[in-house]
Amino acid sequence: MATGNGASGLDRSAVLRATIVLIALRVAYAYNWFDVGPALLPIGAAFSVGPAEFGLLTAAFLVGAGLLQVPAGFLARRFGPRSVSLWGAGLLAVGGIASGLAPSFPTLLAFRLAAGFGAALFFSPAIGLVASLYPPGHRGLPVGTFSSAFSLGSALGVFVTALLIPPLGWRNSLVLGGALLGVLTVIAVFAIPRGAGARPVARPSGGLPAALRYRGVWAVGFAFIGLEGASFATGQFIVPWGQVVHGWSLALAGAVGTAFVLPSLFGGPVGGPIAERFRNHRTQFLVATVLGAVLLALLPFVGLVEIVAIGVVFSFGYGFVYAVMYVLPHFWRSVPSAEIPLAIGLFNSIQLAGGALVLFLFGWIVAATSYSVGWEVIAGVTAATLAALVSLPATVRAAAAAGPPLAGGPGPP
């Protein structure tokens, strides 16, 4: 990754340190998204709930993450992405710890909702913070790597929690995940320079921000509602599906579950540079997502080896898609650079809100029919929502060279 004064005005060592810490935070952040999946059956036994409630529990987190995505963009614009992202990581850590201490299922739902609020405050400001550290033309790799760090964290959340639950129980496993994120957040407070990120805008101009009016933001949001739901349905439900339908042990189910999240770690660093180099973003989106939908439709009909292969390709594909997605706003000349976090926040909000509905629908279908029907519905929705890409404007290459896309004015972004 290119480092140096670039767009941020920070020296090489400060840029590298901030990037490493933000990636580590991203890993621990993702861990706390997915450590609930292996715990679903123990949670069901503890609170006498089943698949429908599992869908509600996992959806509650996405609802929280979706509701504050746009406010997070406004807050980052007002207070700076560094402050908002660190407050978000802290809130997610507290929510993760509290989830392990929940005395009842409704309380657990509330804590997961609060954890989702923290996740929302972290993400779009943090990704804008990473991109702001690098000059135009050198953002694809760090942004793609940051995006893909989610895959490593989610894989660890699935697999490590599956290993921890037998000796420690689901409660202590969730507490440990939140505590890890809390420690890293404290480290980040001291490791990330206060001057990193876009300058706060003391008095944002009146009127509706351009990011909220640009149709490309809305197109990306609606197009990937299905993929958002599918990525979380696989990440959270592969473990209980493997245990209940295939009779796998918790450790084996956790290992298979990592195949549906870890390979996206490699999809991001591939997708980010490709998104910067080539302008056919709509085609990139369609090929990767349609392939993933087709593979998900095959899940009920194949064995262990094929399931793992499907997971690897599907996960790599959505890692690729999300990296392209997060680089794309830097090409939108109609969206001011200071509003990039807001644009990302809006399309994330749409995806998370829609994905929460898809996830709840999946849990309800599994409870009413079977996992097999649920996987077919997920595959169909993933492909169907891509129709919104018709409204995605063509990418104009010149936008990438029009100045630092995340800069909040003449100073450091």
Instruction: Please tell me the pTM assigned to this model.
Output: 0.78
CATH of residue 47's domain is 1.20.1250.20
Whether residue 4 lies inside any domain: the answer is: no
Whether residue 3 lies inside any domain: the answer is: no
> Which residue segment(s) compose the domain that 323 sits in?
12-198+209-400
Q: Residue 308 in contact with residue 259, Cβ under 8 Å?
A: yes
* DSSP-assigned letters across all residues of 341-393: HHHHHHHHHHHHHHHHHHHHHHHHHHHHS-HHHHHHHHHHHHHHGGGGGGGPP
Q: Residue 158 in contact with residue 258, Cβ under 8 Å?
A: yes
* Distance separating alpha carbons of residues 330 and 132, to the nearest angstrom: 11
Whether residue 5 lies inside any domain: the answer is: no
Number of domains the chain contains? 1
Whether residue 367 lies inside any domain: the answer is: yes
Q: Residue 12 in contact with residue 20, Cβ under 8 Å?
A: no
Whether residue 32 lies inside any domain: the answer is: yes
Q: Residue 114 in contact with residue 64, Cβ under 8 Å?
A: yes
Report residue 375 CA to chain centroid gap.
Answer: 21
Whether residue 148 lies inside any domain: the answer is: yes
Whether residue 174 lies inside any domain: the answer is: yes
Whether residue 34 lies inside any domain: the answer is: yes
**For each of the chain's 413 residues, which pLDDT tens digit applies?**
444 444 456 677 778 888 889 999 999 999 999 899 899 999 999 999 999 899 899 889 989 988 887 888 788 877 888 889 999 999 999 999 999 999 999 999 999 999 999 998 998 788 778 877 777 666 667 877 787 788 789 889 989 999 999 999 999 999 999 999 999 999 999 888 776 665 655 555 667 888 888 999 999 999 999 999 999 899 889 999 999 999 999 999 999 999 998 888 788 778 878 887 887 888 899 999 999 999 999 999 999 999 999 999 999 998 899 888 888 888 888 888 777 777 887 898 899 889 989 988 999 999 999 999 999 999 999 999 999 999 998 876 544 333 333 322 222 22
- The tokens of 267 are what? 């999809």
* CA dihedral for 118, 203, 408, 321, sign (positive or negative): positive
